[in-house]
Amino acid sequence: MSKRSKKKHSGLVTKRHTILADLEQAWAESFSSEVPITVESSHQLLEETGIAQLLVEAEKYCYTRAILTCVLRNTGQAIMVDLERQEQKQTGENGNDSALPVIKYGYEAGTREWFLGKLLICGGGGVIMRSFLKETDPTTGFPVKELRAWNITIPEEPKLLWTDFAGKKVPSIQPLKIKIERLTSDDVYWASNTEYPDGKRLKPESGVRYC
């Protein structure tokens, strides 16, 4: 493993150059893997576990831009990723062009896999999504945003398995019973407007909708 990938990361991880190194390090430390796990391998592994279903749900609410923030259960580390809705040009069989909506994760290849990989390895956590609308709040002049939240529980530690395929070692992960629980709008409201640990009520932010 490279010196760069051995570098320790802590706190809020958002810097572009840390994404791939942090993902590689996380896989290696969690599974004692001597064989590097690529972004492509990570994508397949995460699809197998079922944790990617969280982003299938979240992408429905990325209207323009959105921010996903997660506090990892086992480490308490906060990680963040930006989402942006884009249109990808596609030409049909009849020769007509159409725009296919796609969601871009972060600013570096592998950001989606990094986010899910950290969530999986660290036993889940609490995820908050801030979705920005095209609508502008008249009081602040900023885009209206919607807040949603999920609680991700992974009751068992994932185990990495290796199989030989065409002379290469291919990784896989045993199926996991991952619980993805959507919080109610009331829960999101009080979690966002309560000061911890004293429980003091805070004034709700203008231009925010709790979903």
Residue 187, pLDDT score:
96
* 7 pLDDT tier (thresholds 50, 70, 90): very low
Handedness of CA 124, 128, 132, 135 (dihedral sign): positive
pLDDT for 133 beyond 70: yes
Residue 15, pLDDT score:
39
Handedness of CA 164, 165, 171, 176 (dihedral sign): negative
What is the mean predicted confidence (pLDDT) over 132-149?
95
| Residues 80-127 pLDDT 10s | 999 999 987 766 667 666 677 899 999 888 888 889 888 888 889 999
Residue 61, pLDDT score:
97
Angle between helices 39-49 and 19-31 (to 10 degrees): 60
pLDDT for 136 beyond 90: yes
What is the rounded CA–CA span in Å between residue 83 and residue 182? 19
Q: Which residue has the higher pLDDT, 127 or 177?
A: 127
* 33 pLDDT tier (thresholds 50, 70, 90): low
pLDDT for 210 beyond 80: yes
* 1 pLDDT tier (thresholds 50, 70, 90): very low
What is the rounded CA–CA span in Å between residue 114 and residue 70? 12
pLDDT for 38 beyond 70: no
> Which helix (H) or strand (E) element contains residue 22?
helix 19-31
**Any idea of the CA torsion for 181, 187, 188, 193, to the nearest 10 degrees?**
-150
Q: Which residue has the higher pLDDT, 58 or 19?
A: 58
Q: Which residue has the higher pLDDT, 13 or 80?
A: 80
| Contacts (Cβ under 8 Å, ≥6 apart) of 207 | 137, 139, 140, 142, 143, 144, 145
Q: Which residue has the higher pLDDT, 100 or 16?
A: 100
What is the mean predicted confidence (pLDDT) over 25-43?
62
Q: Which residue has the higher pLDDT, 127 or 200?
A: 127
At 65 the three-state DSSP class reads strand
